[in-house]
């Protein structure tokens, strides 16, 4: 069974159709990349899968269950977590408190108002372990908004992972990073997503080829090819539409 | 702050808070109103400080609490016998229930739309007030008497103050504690980025309803406390003024500091009580103060004091001096204008054949045609502006 399965998904905004009949299968446990030129509809597809938008027509299944009519919070509770391309966290919260939100969501500590958040040992321990994983332990008490960009991305990743998701959607995890930072982030993502399903939008082909098992190419709202990295590099249509320009 | 400082502060606070127990009714009443306003503003600010929800209709929940308390006291007169100390709980309950209902509707939207819905609900209840005679008592409202209980007669207001103090303390502790609970933390995050919170799996509408209900319940408590002190209430408590009060007090005091709204409520209620005997223009000054604070001290008075801790004392004194000089001059001009433009002064002038006649202000005889009457306040205001300019230049140089 596929972790994510899209069939004939279409999304129309007013008169323009952004997603024009996408079929996509992401297998359980694989790292799958979604590539394509700017404006191909990659972010829209992410928003459809994670529940921010509803498809105009077509079906989306998560672990075999229909999900395209569910709101984001329901989809998140079913084990799908996503990060955002434009880092979007909580300006007035510290790094520790930010990650704690994810952990509390995961452990079901939501509508609790009879004890302090700090008194919950299991939650605190989990947060500290996650901060350690993304190398942010020394930043625990800094406001999220005051972190440098690459550390904000790491924090974004930590919050996403705090949900212990089965399926992870990452939107350009290395955007705006230097080569070294990007390499570090890739290593981090590879280590932390082991055993989970990953769907990632990424522009940097080095990142895509080093991280992912399979690649799908989205052009003008349609998937024109899906396959292993070497198949994709050999695919003529892909080279014509995108890779030829992208690689050189 | 070392240990001795802390003990000294606690002692001072205890003296200030317990002093009204010895006061006469007039000042015990003022102390009660200050505590009630402080609790109400702090409850209102639960929504704004945490979730960035600005309610323009919190008078509804305050009023609900007040009506509930007075109705319960009337039931007591008829023989129900609930001790007075428990009567404010009726306010909590009615605030909670009405808050859940109205909060459910209002929090379906955020931002300006949320504010508009709360405003509309308040208008709705306000217009319902005079029509629903049985519940709101029409134009006259409803009244009741406190019945002695637990060995106290509650005839004097300083005995009632004891109840108000106890419940307010509980309300403040609850609000302070709430900020540290998981739900309080989630509410904070909601104010920053609701969308992101949804993607973490939180049902944000439910979070907002809970927060709204808590805020309304504590507003209802504040209303209930005023209910037992005032012993009567009419529908005007749902009017725009009582919904505007916590907004103004919160932003003057400092919306992002836990006790900023309480401070704002305390000084505005205190000054309002003292100055409304001296001048008819108190509301004008309150409005001007609101504008000035929002423009020049967006963090509010307490917020600015806390953030300017590192600034030198000299600067703080100079700033205060500038504000005092300018406002003294402004107050003089406003008061003079209100006298000189009044009908009674016009008829006085007409009697004198149109020539300027002297008027009394602050127990001084003043003649409008003499230049010194206008030159002096102008010089005072100019001095204030000069102090402020000099300070600004020094800041830029540093």
**ipTM score here?**
0.84
For the domain B3-289, what is the CATH code? 1.10.3470
Distance CA(A122)–CA(A224), nearest Å, equals: 46
Out of A82, A90, A116, the one facing B193 most closely (by C-beta) is A90
Tell me, yes or no, whether A66 and A95 share the same domain: no
Q: Does A42 reside within a domain? A: yes
B188 min Cα distance to partner chain A (Å): 8
pLDDT at site A16: 87
pLDDT digits (tens, 9 = 90+) for B239-271: 898 999 999 999 998 888 888 999 999 999 988
pLDDT digits (tens, 9 = 90+) for A107-160: 877 777 777 877 788 888 889 998 988 888 898 899 988 888 878 888 888 898
pLDDT at site B223: 95
Q: Do B185 and A115 touch (CB under 8 A)?
A: no
List, for chain B, all residue ranges whose pLDDT scores fall below the cut of 70.
1, 308-312, 398
C-alpha radius of gyration, chain A, whole number? 18
Identify the CA nearest to B21 among candidates B117, B120, B159. Answer: B159
Q: Do A90 and B192 touch (CB under 8 A)?
A: yes
Look at residue A247 and tell me whether its pLDDT is greater than 60. no
Tell me, yes or no, whether A246 and A234 share the same domain: yes
Q: Band of the pLDDT at A248, cuts 50, 70, 90?
A: very low
Identify the CA nearest to B174 among candidates B31, B46, B61. Answer: B46
Q: Does A85 reside within a domain? A: no
Interface of chain B against chain A, CB under 8 Å?
A: 177-178, 180-186, 188-189, 191-193, 195-204, 206-207, 210, 214
Greater confidence, A234 or A33?
Answer: A33
Last residue within a domain, chosen from A138, A164, A190 = A164
Tell me, yes or no, whether A185 and A62 share the same domain: yes
Q: Do A82 and B199 touch (CB under 8 A)?
A: yes
Least confident of A74-83, A162-171, B284-293: B284-293
* Residue ranges of domains in chain B: 3-289, 313-397
Tell me, yes or no, whether A155 and A172 share the same domain: no
Q: Does A84 reside within a domain? A: no
Map tokens 């939650």 to a residue. Answer: A123
Tell me, yes or no, whether A154 and A219 share the same domain: no
pLDDT digits (tens, 9 = 90+) for B60-77: 999 999 999 999 988 888
Tell me, yes or no, whether A152 and A42 share the same domain: no
pLDDT at site B136: 86
pLDDT at site B55: 92
Tell me, yes or no, whether A5 and A23 share the same domain: yes
Compute CA distances A229 → A97, A209, B288, whole Å.
Answer: 39, 6, 68
Tell me, yes or no, whether A195 and A150 share the same domain: no
Map tokens 């703080």 to a residue. Answer: B316
- Tell me the residue range of the domain where A240 lies: 1-79+167-248
Map tokens 């600005």 to a residue. Answer: B54
Domain count, chain A: 2
Average pLDDT of every residue of chain A: 85
Tell me, yes or no, whether A147 and A122 share the same domain: yes
Identify the CA nearest to A45 among candidates A222, A228, A226. Answer: A222
Q: Does A86 reside within a domain? A: no
Tell me, yes or no, whether A97 and A122 share the same domain: yes
Q: Does A11 reside within a domain? A: yes
Look at residue A244 and tell me whether its pLDDT is greater than 70. no
Tell me, yes or no, whether A135 and A159 share the same domain: yes
Last residue within a domain, chosen from A164, A195, A219 = A164
pLDDT at site B398: 67
Distance CA(B87)–CA(B282), nearest Å, equals: 33
Q: Are A238 and A231 in contact (CB under 8 A)?
A: no
A50 min Cα distance to partner chain B (Å): 8
* Predicted structure pTM score: 0.86
pLDDT at site A173: 83
**Sign of the C-alpha dihedral, residues B22, B24, B29, B30?**
negative
B182 interaction partners in chain A (CB closer than 8 Å):
104, 109-110, 112-113, 117, 120
- Which is it for strands B232-233 and B359-361: parallel, antiparallel or unpaired? unpaired
Q: Does A208 reside within a domain? A: yes
H helices present in A27-142, as ranges: 42-50, 72-77, 95-107, 121-133
Tell me, yes or no, whether A159 and A193 share the same domain: no
B256 min Cα distance to partner chain A (Å): 11
pLDDT at site B72: 92
Map tokens 């958040």 to a residue. Answer: A117
Q: B379-386: long-range contacts at Cβ-Cβ below 8 A with a sequence spacing of 24 or more?
A: B380/B325, B380/B328, B380/B329, B381/B325, B381/B326, B381/B329, B381/B330, B383/B325, B384/B321, B384/B322, B384/B323, B384/B324, B384/B325, B384/B326, B384/B329, B385/B322, B385/B326
Q: Does A53 reside within a domain? A: yes
Last residue within a domain, chosen from A136, A164, A192 = A164
Q: CATH number of the domain that A191 lies in?
A: 3.40.50.300
């Amino acid at each position: 069974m596929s972790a994510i399965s899209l069939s004939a998904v279409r999304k129309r905004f007013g008169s323009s159709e952004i997603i024009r009949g996408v079929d996509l299968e992401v297998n359980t446990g694989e790292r799958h990349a979604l590539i394509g030129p700017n404006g191909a509809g990659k972010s829209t597809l992410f928003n459809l899968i994670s529940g921010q938008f509803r498809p105009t027509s077509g079906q989306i299944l998560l672990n075999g269950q229909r999900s395209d009519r569910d709101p984001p919070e329901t989809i998140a509770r079913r084990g799908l977590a996503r990060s955002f391309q434009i880092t979007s966290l909580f300006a007035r919260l510290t790094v520790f408190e930010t990650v704690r939100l994810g952990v509390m969501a995961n452990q079901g500590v939501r509508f609790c108002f009879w004890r302090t958040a700090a008194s919950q040992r299991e939650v605190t321990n989990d947060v500290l372990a996650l901060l350690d994983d993304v190398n942010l332990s020394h930043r625990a008490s800094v406001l999220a908004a005051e972190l440098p960009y690459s550390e904000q991305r790491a924090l974004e990743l930590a919050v996403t992972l705090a949900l212990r998701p089965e399926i992870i959607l990452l939107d350009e995890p290395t955007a705006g990073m230097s080569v070294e930072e990007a390499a570090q982030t890739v290593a981090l993502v590879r280590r932390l997503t082991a055993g989970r399903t990953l769907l990632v939008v990424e522009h940097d082909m080095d990142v895509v080829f080093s991280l992912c098992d399979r690649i799908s190419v989205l052009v003008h709202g349609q998937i024109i090819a899906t396959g292993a990295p070497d198949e994709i590099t050999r695919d003529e249509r892909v080279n014509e539409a995108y890779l030829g320009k992208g690689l050189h | 702050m070392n240990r001795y400082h802390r003990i000294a502060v606690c002692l001072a606070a205890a003296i200030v808070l317990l002093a009204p127990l010895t006061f006469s009714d007039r000042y015990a009443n003022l102390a009660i109103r200050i505590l009630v306003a402080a609790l109400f503003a702090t409850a209102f600010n639960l929504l704004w400080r945490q979730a960035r929800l600005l309610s323009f209709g919190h008078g509804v929940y305050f009023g609900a609490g007040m009506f509930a308390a007075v109705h319960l006291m009337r039931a007591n007169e008829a023989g129900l016998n609930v001790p007075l100390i428990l009567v404010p709980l009726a306010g909590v309950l009615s605030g909670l229930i009405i808050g859940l209902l109205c909060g459910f509707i209002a929090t379906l939207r955020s931002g300006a739309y949320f504010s508009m819905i709360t405003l509309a609900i308040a208008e709705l209840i306000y217009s319902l007030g005079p029509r629903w005679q049985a519940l709101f008592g029409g134009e006259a409202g409803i009244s009741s008497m406190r019945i002695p209980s637990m060995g106290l007669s509650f005839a004097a207001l300083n005995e009632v103050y004891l109840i108000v103090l106890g419940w307010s303390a509980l309300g403040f502790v609850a609000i302070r504690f709430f900020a540290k609970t998981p739900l309080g933390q989630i509410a904070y995050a909601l104010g920053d980025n609701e969308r992101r919170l949804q993607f973490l799996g939180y049902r944000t509408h439910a979070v907002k309803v809970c927060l709204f209900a808590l805020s309304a319940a504590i507003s209802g408590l504040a209303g209930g406390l005023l209910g037992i002190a005032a012993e009567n209430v009419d529908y005007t408590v749902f009017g725009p003024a009582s919904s505007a009060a916590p907004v103004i007090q919160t932003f003057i005091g400092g919306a992002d500091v836990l006790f900023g709204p309480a401070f704002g409520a305390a000084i505005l209620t205190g000054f309002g009580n003292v100055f409304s005997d001296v001048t008819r223009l108190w509301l004008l000054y309150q409005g001007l103060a609101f504008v000035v604070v929002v423009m020049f001290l967006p963090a509010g008075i307490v917020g600015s004091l806390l953030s300017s801790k590192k600034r030198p004392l000299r600067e703080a004194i100079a700033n205060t001096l500038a504000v005092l000089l300018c406002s003294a001059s402004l107050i003089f001009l406003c008061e003079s204008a209100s006298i000189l433009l009044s009908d009674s002064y016009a008829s006085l002038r007409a009697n004198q054949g149109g020539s300027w006649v002297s008027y009394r202000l602050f127990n001084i005889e003043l003649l409008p045609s003499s230049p010194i009457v206008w030159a002096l306040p102008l010089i005072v205001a100019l001095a204030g502006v000069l102090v402020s300019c000099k300070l600004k230049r020094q800041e830029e140089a540093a």
